[in-house]
Structure 1
Amino acid sequence: MRGDFTAGENVRRRYVALGDSFTEGVGDRSAVLPNGVRGWADRVAEKLAKAERGWEYANLAVRSKRLRKIIDEQLEPALAMEPTLITLYAGGNDILDFGTDMEALLNDYELFVARLAGTGATLVLFTGYDVKVSAVLEPFKKRNTQYNRRVRDVAEKYGAVLVDYWCFDAYHDPRMWAADRLHMSKAGHKYLAARVLDQLNIPHKISPKEWDPPSRMTLREWERKQRRWVNDWVLPLFGRKLRGVTLGDSLSPRWPQPVKVPRKGGLKKLMEEANT
């Protein structure tokens, strides 16, 4: 980790999360938090606040954003906040786009990381997970491998903390994934929050979900589930791609300005206080 950002009473502590749906928290629903989600980054912010007083938190991530949009919309606001901790995952949506120039994408990614590393903040990067959704996505596996290789190299080059999401066997369990099979479920977000906190040496009591082995489905049950997934998620996704629209087009960042995270009650308490 680059420095001890928790030491001292008068040290500024400001965490800024950047990226797309992965960091926004999609898949972890919340009725009271902005954009209707919570996610691993909120959980990390809350545990930071419990460990040390004075932590502030901003989350600029918006679902469906491609890397170039993330750079254009999130980089300068993040730099202006003078963060002491930054997390970044970006590029996953580009990998799933037809015609993506991977070399250009990864060069842009490195330039982005270089700007963030230049702040002196502790910087956390993530590899991408090889989601076993469907054989339809298998052609993108090579891109994901290429992306992960470059992320590991960039993390080492710029002294970033690496959360090697690719290697987490816990995500082999389908219950770690939301209904769309592309985003983490609540359990998946909690597990990732724990892994990030571990890498940052922040104490927490987040424990892995303990499940009984999943029950075996009959062929008819499996076919019914596949049809529902295609109708509910795959066809709408390709429809949006054809229309050139995304789920994030009408959304704003969940925490666009740094907020002081309450040590007790967390971000939900913050929302309750704002609504009274």
Structure 2
Amino acid sequence: MPRLSSWVAIGDSFTEGLSDLAPDGTYVGWADRLAQLLADRDPDFQYANLALRGKMLREIVDEQIPIVEQVRPDLVTICGGGNDLIVPGSDVDELADVFEQAVIALRQTGCEVVVFTGPDPRKQPVVRRVRGKVAIYNGHLRAIADRHGAKIVDLWAMPVLVDIRAWSDDRLHFSPEGHRRIALRTAEVLGLPVIEDWREPWPPVAPTPWIRSRQADLAWTRAHLLPWVRRQLRGKSMGDGLVPKRPELQPLADQSTGNGHAATA
């Protein structure tokens, strides 16, 4: 693996780390877990995470890429477009064009670029309705990565992420275990040695009775779906008024973080 002394992670809630909570109430997520692995190998390693929940792809491009262009890290990871795809009427091809221009701009900085496909949402209520759009967008992302020499972490090709236990109660963000497995997969793509395997099967679980599943669906609708719909109707975002949790490249030890949640190297 080439030495990576600096990394800037950009994107939305997936990269910010929702819903992987640290004991102090902050979010950890796959990116912080992977950053800990890299810091364990190199005490001078520097990391920034500019991702914010609710960001649309154009916002990521306009607000976060200029920072990458300024600091020119060794590595940049980008995941974006998921929030756009959920919006009715969004155009997958236009979205892919925006993403490709983002990758071109990032590659021009000379950094290594890693992109992420969307996971398969076939077991997720509401989101599974855009499964076809996600699949088409993923096809674009794979082609973009191939054209521009970017690495790709194919979340759709991770069957362990289809299991409901890989997702949090809001059914939109990954659970801590989901984030852990994604960190391991990303480390693998980067050529970073790990001693755990993201492919490890989930332990068997008894089927959930039908009535309990319907009760859970109702509770989820009240707690998560309806608030999301209200925000969309008002043009609001979960990230309004928030700032990135790691806005500057710094050694990991110098930053406030929920450590102790790293994947194992």
TM-score by length of 2: 0.91
Cross-structure match for 1:15: 7
1:51, 1:203 within 8 Å by CA — same for their partners in 2? no
1:190, 1:206 within 8 Å by CA — same for their partners in 2? no
Structure 1 residue 266, shift from structure 2 partner: 9.3
Query: In structure 2, which of residues 89, 92, 100 is the aligned counterpart of residue 110 of structure 1?
Result: 100
> What is the DSSP-based 3-state SS (H/G/I as helix, E as strand, rest coil) of the residue aligned with 1:217?
coil
> What is the DSSP-based 3-state SS (H/G/I as helix, E as strand, rest coil) of the residue aligned with 1:262?
helix
Give matches, 1:128-139, under 5 Å: 128-134=118-124, 136-139=126-129
C-alpha distance in 2, partners of 1:233/1:201?
Answer: 37
Counterpart of 1:262 in structure 2: which amino acid?
Answer: A
2:81, 2:95 within 8 Å by CA — same for their partners in 1? yes
Quick check: 100-109 or 244-253, which moved more?
Answer: 100-109
Consecutive unaligned residues in structure 1, runs of 5 or more: 7-12, 270-276
1:177, 1:188 within 8 Å by CA — same for their partners in 2? yes
Counterpart of 1:22 in structure 2: which amino acid?
Answer: F
Residue 6 of structure 2 is aligned to residue 5 of structure 1: no
Cross-structure match for 1:93: 83
C-alpha distance in 2, partners of 1:268/1:102?
Answer: 35
Question: Aligned Cα RMSD in Å?
Answer: 2.2
Cross-structure match for 2:239: 248
Structure 1 residue 223, shift from structure 2 partner: 1.5
> What is the DSSP-based 3-state SS (H/G/I as helix, E as strand, rest coil) of the residue aligned with 1:26?
coil
Cross-structure match for 1:52: 42
1:46, 1:267 within 8 Å by CA — same for their partners in 2? no
Residue 67 of structure 2 is aligned to residue 69 of structure 1: no
1:70/1:211 Cα in 2 relative to 1: closer, same or farther (>3 Å)? same
Structure 1 residue 142, shift from structure 2 partner: 2.0
Cross-structure match for 1:172: 162
Structure 1 residue 243, shift from structure 2 partner: 1.1
Structure 1 residue 204, shift from structure 2 partner: 2.8
1:171/1:251 Cα in 2 relative to 1: closer, same or farther (>3 Å)? same
Per-residue CA distance 1:134-184 (angstroms, 9 max, x = gap): 564444122111110110001011111111111101112211100011111
Structure 1 residue 49, shift from structure 2 partner: 1.1
> What is the DSSP-based 3-state SS (H/G/I as helix, E as strand, rest coil) of the residue aligned with 2:64?
helix
Cross-structure match for 2:32: 42
**Seq. identity, %:** 35
Cross-structure match for 1:262: 253
C-alpha distance in 1, partners of 2:127/2:256?
Answer: 38
Cross-structure match for 2:210: 219
Q: Which has the larger radius of gyration?
A: 1
Structure 1 runs of 4+ aligned residues shifted over 6 Å read none
